Every structure is written in C-alpha cells, then in structure tokens.
C-alpha cells in the first residue's frame, strides 16, 4: 500500500499500482472488499482505514524493530533465498521468527475483525504463511485462500527451515493454496505427506483426522497481467512518440537490448551483463550496432545482500562502458530507479530483444508485459527457471547458469530474421492473451467460493463422487 496526502493534508491509503491491483479490480467491484496491508514504512502512528469507491484500505502498523526482523530478517533473509533454490545462503534467526509470528498474528486479528460473516479472505505471499491457520482459529466461518507469488522449493530445501512444521501447518489452515506452477503444488503435497501432515493427491489434500479432518485444494494458478492495457500501448500515440524520442536519445543504434528487473540477486542481472559484454567483444560491435538498457528498480536496500548486488551490478556496468563505450556513446544505459508506466511502455516498444534471465522466479511479469506490448517483432530471451517459461515456451529459452548459453541466446536473438520473430511473437502473444490477470483472480476466487464438503469438479466421475 502507499500513503498519500489529500488537499487538506490528511493521509489516505491506496494499494500500490501493479498487476495484483489490476487483477483485483474485477473482484473488488463485485463485492465489498477490505485490503489489509503494510506500506513498508516503520514507526508511523497507526492510521485509520480509508475507503475508495471500490475498497476499504486497512493499514497495518509496524515498528522499525519488527520491520527489520519480520521483513528484512525472516521474510527476505531466510524465506526469500531458501525458496529461490538457496542461491544465497538463508540466515535463520529465532528473534526474526518471533517477529514473523507476531506480525502474522496482527494480520490475522485484523482480518478476523474485518471479514463479513461467511466471507472470504485471500492471503498473499511468503510474508504471511502462518496467517491462514491463525485466522481459521479466530474465524471458523470464513473461507481462506493463500497464494504464493514465489517458487515453493523441493522438500530437500524446504526441510532446512528450522520452523518447517509451523510454516506447513500455517499454510494448511487455508481452504485453497495456490502456486504459480504445478511443480510447486507437487512440492507442497510431497512435503505434507513426508511430514505426516496431510494425505491425498493433488489437487485435493486431506488435513487432520477424524472430527478435525478437512479437505483443501492445492493447485497452480499462474499470475498474469492486464493484457489489454499493454496491448493498447503499441498503438498509443503518446507511447510511440516517447519511444521515438528514446531511440533518438540512444543515437538510433541498429539493435536495442532491454533488461527490466527489481534489483535482486535472483534476477541474474550480472550474468546477463557479462553475456552482453562477451557478445560485444566477440563480434567487435560498437554502440552504433547495439545498445543495452538495464533498468533496476531499487529493492530491499536495507538488506546487505541487496546492497552487495547493487555494487556488483554497477561495477560491471562501469567496467563495460569504460572498456568498450565511447564518449557520448556508452554501451549500457543503466537506470537505478522506478519508472513511470509510460516510460516503461516506451522501453518495451524500442527493445528489439528483451532479456528476462532470472536464476529463479515464481513467474516474472516483465516477460508477459513485453510480449503483450509487441506486435509482430521483437525477441524474448527467457530463463528456463522463470515460471513464465511454461506458458512462453517459444521464447528463446536459456539456462542462465550457463554463461556460454546466455551469449549464444543473445547472439541468436539479435540475428533472428523477421519471419521467425513474427512466428514466435504471434505464438507468445496468443499464450499471454489466453490467460490474463482477471482469469487468474477469477479462477482462484471461484475455487475458494466452493464449499469444503462438496467434491471439486475434477474429482467427479460418471458414477458420482
């Protein structure tokens, strides 16, 4: 959520812009909705809820000590790296865990106070994995859904977590648990069985025995984007004018390569820059031939690993421009800031190649946004380890851990002829249009609305349940 002051200087709270908010619009105008969230600031006095036309926004306060332990510590120092294949070593700390429990309880109590009798609560992401069971203990009448935006790791990794049973029991408090990919749902089911917590086969598990036994749905619901909004950009005169201006400012290079990411060590920015450097050297290219724009959105700047990542990325950018650029013509244009929507759309328009090469990513919406913004050309180079690779399987798929493969993929993308670009892009656009953000939200909420004791549609046979 973000805090804004109105004309009279009073604070009002609004959900931060993004795919989730767009996806939820179709839901929030169907029924009265409360959005319970934290805006990322600490030590701010508790604010009153505020209402917009669609929703009531309920801010959750946090002290700086809680923020540091709950958000930087447990959520981003332990769970984030662990769930991303432990590509950085997770750090486990009991005090952080205590804060994680405290904040999850705060969210659960607030939700319990706001949800209507028999209503639904949709809990989002790895910060709030204990909340489903906590909320269930307070409000047995409500339906609880949980969606994880990031990968769910295989059992061998998850079992490293000192509080593994607590987290699993927290999640199993939900009626529907959604993941980005089928593999994540399988990992979760395998863990539930291995820890003796639940039985059954996907998509329905049974949790508990006898009287307390309960059935829950565990399934995949790939996150998506508001496709129409990105499609419209390719014919929007203002976006096209901004794209033209951008191309001119870059000096009209023959090819433009784009990377857009939160600055995060999971996104593979350094490896991508190295591949770009190698490709330029091998082919003796100049900034007139090819230019790269790398946008890095500031993220989790209070966490050491993120500060280090920023230093590494900026050092490589400096080295490449220092070695290979010319005065007035750097090879890499690097921005460390958030972009306005129109600026981002203009970048998607000028990019001949978009490189989306995370080491691990739950989905990656940038890949879908690029495709939705294009018409008949442009090449997407996409990591095999991004959830989006399942749907976008005619991108140039690449293993980002293999430096040579990255160079080859970039070289192939830059050399791809117009026919192949068109064939691939048309296929990718069909894939993105087939599953939008509102499909994602509707399917999840439709499943959540189904009563517990009725078999799910895919369990029914001709003979009945």
Q: Would you tell me which residues interact with ligand ADQ (CB under 6 A)?
A: 18-19, 149-150, 223, 260, 262, 295, 297, 338-339, 344, 361-366, 369
Q: Which is nearer to ligand ADQ, 357 or 364 (CB)?
A: 364
* Closest CB 18 distance from ligand ADQ, rounded Å: 6
Count other Cβ atoms within 10 Å, centred on residue 250.
17
* Closest CB 20 distance from ligand ADQ, rounded Å: 7
Q: Which is nearer to ligand ADQ, 13 or 348 (CB)?
A: 348
* Closest CB 400 distance from ligand ADQ, rounded Å: 14
Structural tokens at position 317: 């950018």
Q: Which is nearer to ligand ADQ, 148 or 407 (CB)?
A: 148
Q: Which is nearer to ligand ADQ, 121 or 363 (CB)?
A: 363
Q: Which is nearer to ligand ADQ, 368 or 424 (CB)?
A: 368
Nearest to 88 by CA among 410, 312, 356, 365: 312
Q: Which is nearer to ligand ADQ, 24 or 363 (CB)?
A: 363
| Rounded Cα–Cα distance for residues 463 and 455 (Å) | 13
The residue behind tokens 């767009």 is 22
* Closest CB 37 distance from ligand ADQ, rounded Å: 15
Q: Which is nearer to ligand ADQ, 198 or 351 (CB)?
A: 351
| Rounded Cα–Cα distance for residues 233 and 352 (Å) | 16
Structural tokens at position 273: 């820059």
CA-CA distances (angstroms) from residue 274 to 39, 93, 127, 322? 35, 35, 33, 14
Cα dihedral 412→320→269→359 (10° resolution): 60
* Closest CB 147 distance from ligand ADQ, rounded Å: 8
User: Strand 176-179 relative to strand 143-147: parallel, antiparallel, unpaired?
Assistant: parallel
| Rounded Cα–Cα distance for residues 37 and 58 (Å) | 6
Partnered with residue 146 across adjacent β-strands are 123, 177
* Closest CB 300 distance from ligand ADQ, rounded Å: 11
The residue behind tokens 């029991």 is 169
* Closest CB 364 distance from ligand ADQ, rounded Å: 5
| Rounded Cα–Cα distance for residues 337 and 259 (Å) | 13
| Rounded Cα–Cα distance for residues 357 and 34 (Å) | 36
């Amino acid at each position: 959520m973000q805090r804004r002051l109105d004309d009279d200087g009073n604070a009002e709270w609004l959900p931060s812009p993004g795919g989730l908010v767009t996806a939820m619009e179709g839901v929030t105008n169907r029924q009265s909705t409360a959005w319970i969230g934290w805006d990322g600031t600490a030590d701010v006095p508790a604010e009153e809820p505020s209402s917009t036309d669609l929703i009531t926004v309920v801010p959750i306060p946090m002290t700086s000590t809680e923020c540091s332990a709950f958000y930087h510590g447990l959520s981003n120092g332990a769970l984030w790296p662990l769930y991303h294949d432990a590509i950085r070593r997770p750090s486990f700390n009991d005090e952080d865990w205590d804060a994680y429990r405290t904040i999850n309880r705060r969210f659960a109590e607030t939700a319990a106070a706001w949800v209507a009798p028999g209503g639904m609560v949709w809990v989002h992401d790895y910060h709030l994995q204990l909340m489903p069971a906590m909320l269930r203990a307070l409000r047995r009448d409500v339906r609880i859904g949980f969606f994880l935006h990031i990968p769910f790791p295989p059992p061998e990794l998850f079992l490293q977590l000192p509080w593994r049973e607590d987290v699993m029991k927290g999640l199993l408090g939900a009626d529907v648990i959604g993941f980005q990919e089928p593999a994540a749902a399988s990992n979760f089911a395998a863990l539930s069985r291995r820890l003796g917590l639940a039985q059954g086969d996907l998509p329905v598990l049974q949790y508990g025995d006898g009287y307390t036994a309960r059935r829950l749905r565990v399934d995949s619901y790939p996150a998506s984007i508001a496709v129409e909004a990105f499609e419209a950009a390719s014919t929007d005169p203002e976006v096209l004018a901004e794209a033209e201006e951008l191309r001119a400012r870059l000096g009209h290079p023959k090819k433009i390569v784009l990377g857009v990411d939160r600055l995060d060590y999971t996104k593979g920015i350094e490896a991508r820059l190295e591949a770009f450097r190698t490709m330029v050297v091998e082919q003796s290219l100049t900034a007139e031939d090819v230019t790269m724009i790398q946008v890095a959105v500031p993220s989790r700047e209070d966490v050491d690993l993120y500060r280090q990542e920023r230093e590494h990325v900026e050092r490589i950018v400096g080295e490449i421009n220092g070695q290979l650029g010319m005065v007035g013509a750097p090879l890499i244009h690097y921005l460390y800031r958030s972009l306005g929507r129109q600026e981002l759309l203009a970048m998607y328009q000028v990019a001949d190649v978009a490189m989306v090469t995370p080491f691990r990513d739950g989905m990656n919406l940038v890949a879908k946004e690029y495709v939705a913004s294009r018409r008949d050309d442009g090449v997407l180079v996409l990591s095999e380890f991004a959830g989006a690779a399942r749907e976008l399987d005619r991108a140039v798929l690449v293993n980002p851990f293999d430096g040579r493969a990255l160079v080859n993929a970039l070289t192939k993308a830059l050399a791809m002829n117009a026919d192949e670009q068109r064939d691939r892009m048309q296929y990718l656009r069909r894939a993105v249009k087939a599953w939008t953000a509102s499909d994602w939200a509707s399917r999840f909420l439709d499943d959540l609305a189904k009563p517990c004791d009725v078999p799910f549609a895919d369990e029914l046979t001709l003979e009945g349940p």
